[in-house]
Amino acid sequence: TQLLEQSPQFLSIQEGENLTVYCNSSSVFSSLQWYRQEPGEGPVLLVTVVTGGEVKKLKRLTFQFGDARKDSSLHITAAQTGDTGLYLCAGALFGSNTGKLIFGQGTTLQVKP
């Protein structure tokens, strides 16, 4: 059973379209992060959200942490071909101070020109 359920797992869209990726759990997280991974590289941190209800924007990317700190979403506006990649959500479990992260399965995004 996956502690963090990420959906969808695959997404293929045209350039200019909008999309949302979801990350859901029954567990409470002290923080939730979104990473992006390019082929042949390790994941790179995009953003961290720590407060329930928090919304962060990074250019065309909007990240939201659920009020109960059990879920998060990533919304991309007017997707570009450069957004293509693997997007991973990861959470630090509430009450843990080891820094261990629980990862979702990942969403492979393909943006076609």
Partner 1 sequence: NAGVTQTPKFQVLKTGQSMTLQCAQDMNHNSMYWYRQDPGMGLRLIYYSASEGTTDKGEVPNGYNVSRLNKREFSLRLESAAPSQTSVYFCASSVFGSRTGEAFFGQGTRLTVV
Closest listed residue to residue 107, CA positions, set 4, 28, 7: 7
106 binds partner 1 (CB under 8 A): yes
Return the number of the residue (11 or 101) whose C-beta is nearest partner 1: 101
Instruction: Say whether residue 66 binds partner 1 (CB under 8 A).
Output: no
- Residue 2, phi then psi, degrees to nearest 5: -80, 130
Using the rule CB under 8 A, which residue among 85, 104, 109, 111 binds partner 1?
Answer: 104
For Cα atoms 40, 43, 48, give the angle at the middle one, nearest 5 degrees.
165
> What pairs with residue 36 in β-bridges?
44, 87
Please state the closest distance from residue 99 (CB atom) to partner 1, in A.
4
Task: Report the SS3 class of residue 51.
Answer: coil
Spatial distance between the Cα atoms of 70 and 35, rounded to a whole number of angstroms: 17
Among 58, 100, 110, 112, binds partner 1 (CB under 8 A): 100
Provide the minimum distance between the beta carbon of 4 and partner 1 in the complex, in angstroms, as a whole number. 8
Is 90 a binding residue for partner 1 by CB under 8 A? The answer is yes
Residue (77 or 96) nearer to partner 1, CB: 96
Q: Is 42 in the site for partner 1 (CB under 8 A)?
A: yes
Residue written as token pair 């076609």: 112
